[in-house]
Structure 1
Amino acid sequence: MSKIFDMHEECSHCGLHYQIEPSFFYGAMYVSYGLGVAFSVATFIISHVFCNASLETDFIAIIVSLIILMPYQMRLARNLWINFFIKYRKDWRDIKAKENDSN
């Protein structure tokens, strides 16, 4: 758990530098909030509708699921946030090879 907030500086495949600007991933907090709401609603529906649990049990289930899913939620939010700005290119190997040839 101590390394949960650690991130690689750049992509090991294409060399993309992840820290585009200082505090770039602060915007991922908004994405994380949306994911947290989505996880909470999903947990409530599963707990209340499918399991016929009480509201107290639903609340506990939501809290437990948010705590357990927090590492995944944070990583997913960061991935979604960077994909808003950086598009995947299938030809990244060709671009990387051209850059290496020109150097």
Structure 2
Amino acid sequence: MNSARIQLLEKYIEQEPSDPFNTYALAMEYHDELPEKSIILLNSLLADHPEYLPTYFKAAHLLWEEELWAEADQVFIKGIELAEKQKDQKAAQELKAAYQNFQFDRD
């Protein structure tokens, strides 16, 4: 975790609260060392910027890693639907493959 980068991203979020990338980048900074903080940030992105597709893959995986199965399942499904709606075939395929692995992992 890079504290200088975290401070910079927090400043960017303050300056441009409507840009979802900054919050996404901050969530990725917290991913390994403070996954609970990363989940909070990703959940806020899902609520405030539901059309920001990159959030779904990372949020679903982190929820999966934290064994929050029901939440991960919902995020995968919503992400697949959004990718198809946005006609982003690559993202849809990646989400579907990850979702399939998630389902196998749970069985």
Q: In proportion to residue count, which structure has more helix?
A: 2
- What is the TM-score when the length of structure 2 is the normalising length? 0.27
- What is the TM-score when the length of structure 1 is the normalising length? 0.28
Pick the structure with greater CA Rg.
1
